[in-house]
Structure 1
């Protein structure tokens, strides 16, 4: 009797256990289940259940991972769809512009004699821009499409048509020559009129600077790096024959001097295509931020020991002069370690510095180019640490001081001929706040500034006598 009750209790317990586990077992494959066997013994009910569970539990972590992956994929799809909408809009604009360009090419194809070489070159430039835009779209989408491929092919075909049309332009060559001759005569007449109202280049028949033009910003330096904040650029102030159009450039990430680049003309400077490069050997490197090219020679400040240095760009010969007078305690506002400031004008070559005897005021010294020695000296009233920079024009030193973020002020001048000092207020607009090299060039009467890594120049206007 007791044994029968015991069996009944066990059977009920197993049945309850089966009911509790049934939700979890519903996840198991059918082959993991075995049906229970029911037998009777001695008139009593005996229930035997056999259940085989898998080795691992329900993979909840995998389900959560898959949910996260699905969410990320959904976000990525939304981003790509937004990009497609954006590039689709840009493509519509480009297609509209390309249709207009197609019409222009068709018109030129029907009457090529009515167009000159410049028209063809402008079309060729626009086609290259379209080609670059299509390539950019393909790279951005990281794929290609029949529409983009067709657009690229059409641009290529139009380029071939423009090149072919240009070969038919022979009849216009004589007309172009005549027009250029007329333009040249007008330019010569304009130049003669201009010479009547402006001082002659290289002469000093004026009473000083009256105003300075707005800055002309050419471009960032040849290294294409705004971090190259120390250096300078400009033209030779006394060029040798054949190098009248030469430009020079040198810049660094710290106030030092160790290489120069020379460009045959303005176009080569803009193209960053130098015809020669001078790297200073170890032991000949310079320091500071100001140097000039005068008579095909670079003049710069060297250190250890402190001295004036020059490098002949033709012979690559170095010369040095120890300079104990200049103090290494006073420098310009924007320029660390700029103790010797070389400058050149209509009167020759100069160097400006501060001394302990003058208590930090700027001293002007005239350099004898042959002996590389000092001819004469003049002490000014300009306290160098408060000066932004200084330059020489017709034997007169002009000093600047900071105004606001966008403005510098030419505030002081000293005439080495008359020893006359003047205070003035001539605004000098800056492209950016800091600059480290400002010098005047007598061959074109311009100021050249190296402004936070950018080439900047100014036209100088003088007062007439």
Structure 2
């Protein structure tokens, strides 16, 4: 009786333990036998032995079933790892092929380089000529193209036309003044034909008139009137690349006024210049510092104590107004009526009053040489207070005793006839 009961309990325990350890790798089976007291026999008859044998067989079957269930996931994992290893081996074979191909290519390039080095420098292959042609045809930047276009046709001034009158100032404030057409449009609302005008006979010169074109200037209808934040000195201003450049009143300070932003964009003192009547042109008018623009850039024409009144030319950075280079001439500033720059050369006018006068001196900033010239020039109205060169239009703009006039100019290469 006790024997049967013990075997039954043992089987139940084995089934529970097999389920609890299904996720483990091993199952531990513990056999427990309960025996009768010494008085009783463990197997008192053959029937009990057969029953015990049957139950042991059943127990072994249960254990085998549990072990079989545990082996399946292990087999699956082994198959997955085998497949992954196979794929990695395939990738390695592909990479080996690529490495060999690259090594072969490196060897070919090395041999080709050695052959090129062994060739004489004087020999030029057809392939090199084709590459050279392609490089020479690469488009240049807009800024470089613009400078090349402006320099094209540059030369010495050989003649000036008769003056053409465009407008006459109607009030006493317009006896002296300045007017310009920019080399390019600064942007809306101004166009490439915009005309700029400043009347300079007043206590504080601040008003800058803008006209749509020459026709509107002649009619007297300004497009806009700008009020400068700082008053200007005399008639030495100029317009260049969208800005008005001028000298501040009673000061050696130069100002760059942005015509679109309508504000001072840069300011800087000119190094040691005479100003406010120290070294003016022969007609006076506090014309100590004269700003000019041409194909080569922005310039300041003035004198210093060190130069003893002789004209000094300084090229300016148009953005910062910093002096990039200076030249001292042997031309006395108070002995000439006015001056302007053309293609990097300074030209001076002999008289501001004489109806028929001449452009009498030139100084070349490239050769650093000055010479006398004799180009006829007319002051039609008898008091020329401003002359400014426009590189884009190849014209001189002048303010002659209330009148706004222009002159066409002719340039010629050095040593050639016009």
TM-score, normalization by structure 1: 0.54
Choose the corresponding residue for 1:264, options 212, 215, 226: 212
What is residue 442 of structure 1 aligned with on the other side? Answer: 391
Give the Å deviation of 1:422. Answer: 1.6
Q: Is 2:256 the partner of 1:307?
A: no
CA–CA separation in structure 1 for the residues paired with 2:167 and 2:232: 25
User: How far apart in 2 are the matches of 1:217 and 1:389?
Assistant: 19
Match of 2:234 among 283, 288, 297: 288
Contact 2:233 2:250 in 1 (8 A): no
- Partner of 2:408, secondary structure, is strand
Whole-Å separation in 1 of the counterparts to 2:300 and 2:351: 22
**Deviation at 1:347?**
0.9
Alpha-carbon distance change, 419 to 439 in structure 1, aligned in 2, over 3 angstroms = same
Among 296, 302, 325, the alignment partner of 2:272 is 325
Q: In the alignment, is the contact (CA less than 8 A) between 1:237 and 1:344 conserved in 2?
A: no
Q: Answer yes or no: is 1:346 the counterpart of 2:292.
A: no
Contact kept in structure 1, 2:398 and 2:405, CA below 8 Å: yes
Shift of 1:202: 3.0
Shift of 1:315: 0.6
Aligned to 1:70: none
Counterpart in the other structure of 1:220: 168
Q: Does 1:202 align with 2:150?
A: yes
Q: Which moved more, 1:232-241 or 1:394-403?
A: 232-241
Secondary structure (helix, strand or coil) at the match of 1:381 reads strand
**1:426 alignment partner in structure 2:** 375
1:1-28 CA-partner distances (Å, limit 9, x unpaired) = xxxxxxxxxxxxxxxxxxxxxxxxxxxx
Could you tell me which residue of structure 1 aligns to residue 222 of structure 2? Answer: 274
Structure 1 runs not aligned, ≥5 long: 1-199
Tell me if 1:211 matches 2:159. yes
Report the counterpart of residue 198 of structure 2 in structure 1.
250
Deviation readout 1:375-427 (Å, 9 max, x if unpaired): 00001111011111000001011011118631231011111111121211111
Structure 1 position 255, deviation (Å): 7.7
1 CA distance for matches of 2:353 and 2:243? 35
Structure 1 residues 312 and 415, CA gap change in structure 2 (3 angstroms): same
Q: What corresponds to 1:463 in structure 2?
A: 412
Cα offset for 1:463?
A: 2.0
In structure 1, how many angstroms separate the alpha carbons of the residues matched to 2:269 and 2:377? 34
Tell me, what secondary structure is at the counterpart of 2:371? strand
Which structure: larger Rg? 2
Which residue matches 1:399? Answer: 348
CA 1:371/1:325 → structure 2, altered by over 3 Å: closer, same or farther? same
Q: Secondary structure at the match of 1:202?
A: helix
Q: Secondary structure at the match of 1:269?
A: helix
- Matches of 2:228 and 2:374 in 1, distance apart? 40
CA RMSD, Structure 1 to Structure 2 (Å)? 2.0
CA–CA separation in structure 1 for the residues paired with 2:320 and 2:223: 30
Counterpart among 306, 322, 326 of residue 357 in structure 1: 306
- Give 4+ residue runs of structure 1 displaced > 4 Å after superposition: none
Contact kept, 8 Å, 1:349 with 1:366, in 2: the verdict is yes
1:228-247 paired onto structure 2 within 5 Å: 228-240=174-186, 243-247=191-195
SS at match of 1:289: coil
Query: Structure 1 residue 204: deviation in Å?
Result: 4.3
Deviations 1:218-242 (A, max 9, x none): 2202xx1255222111201343356
| Structure 1 residue 324, shift from structure 2 partner | 4.1
Once the two structures are superposed, the pairs formed by residues 57-72 of structure 1 within 5 Å of their partners are none
Q: Secondary structure at the match of 2:288?
A: coil
CA contact (8 A) 1:230 1:256 kept: no
Q: CA deviation at 1:371?
A: 2.0
Distance in 2 (alpha carbons) for counterparts of 1:257 and 1:206: 35
Q: Where is the helix percentage greater, Structure 1 or Structure 2?
A: 1
